[in-house]
Amino acid sequence: MSPVPAGPLPDPAAMLRLLPVPTLEVDDEAGDDLRRIELRRAILDIAEVSHKQEAEAVRDVVERFRRAAGR
């Protein structure tokens, strides 16, 4: 019975290949911070668009229509 060949000796580079590939994991809180300063995600926040503000905008328009109708 011949001995099983041991194969090449793993070198440090081979050992490093055994480690998982690094992955990017951003936790929720940090992700929220990123989104907060991301312009595209903050369009309505920056513009301060709220239901109340929208209702006021509608009232302005309605007021103009009524004034025009009353002339």
Partner 1 sequence: MARLLPRTLIAAGLVAGLAMLAAVPAGGAPAPPGPTVQLAPGTSVPPGRYEVVLRGGGREITTTATVVAATPSPPAPPEPPSDTVTPLVIVALALLLLGIAGYLVNVNVRVPVLRSRRYEDLVRSLADGSYPDAVAGLTRLEADLPRRIQTRARFHICFGLYQMGEFDEAEFRLTTLHREEPADTEVAYLLAYLRVKRRDHDGAAPVLAAMEDAGRLDVAHARRLYGVVLFQQATQAVTDGRIEAAAELFDHVERLGDFRDRVPVDLRSRHVVIGARALLDRDLPAARDQFTELERSTSDPDLRASAKIGQALTAWLENRPGTGKEMVQLLTECLRLLNPDEPLRRVWPGPPDGDPATQLEALAGESARPEVERDLRQTMRDLHLLRSLALMRLWAERDVDANTDAGHFVAACAQRFACAVGSIADPYLVVGLLRYHLAGGSPEGRQQAHAELHAAHTLGVRIPEVLHILREDDAQRRRLDDYTTFLHQLATGAPGTRRPGRPPSRGRFGRVPDQDSAADVEAATRPPPTVAELSERAELLAARVRTLGHDLGPEFAMAAAAAEQLAQANALLARQAKTVADGETALLALIGGQLLPDGKEPRE
Q: Which residues bind partner 1 (CB under 8 A)?
A: 6-7, 9-19, 21-24, 26, 29-31, 33-35, 37-44, 46-49, 51-52, 54-55, 57-58, 60-62, 64-65, 67-69, 71
CB of 2 to partner 1, least distance (A): 18
Decide if 42 contacts 36 (C-beta within 8 A): yes
CB of 5 to partner 1, least distance (A): 12
Give the span between the Cα atoms of 9 and 28, in whole angstroms: 43
- Position of tokens 């055994």? 18
Give the span between the Cα atoms of 17 and 36, in whole angstroms: 38
CB of 20 to partner 1, least distance (A): 9
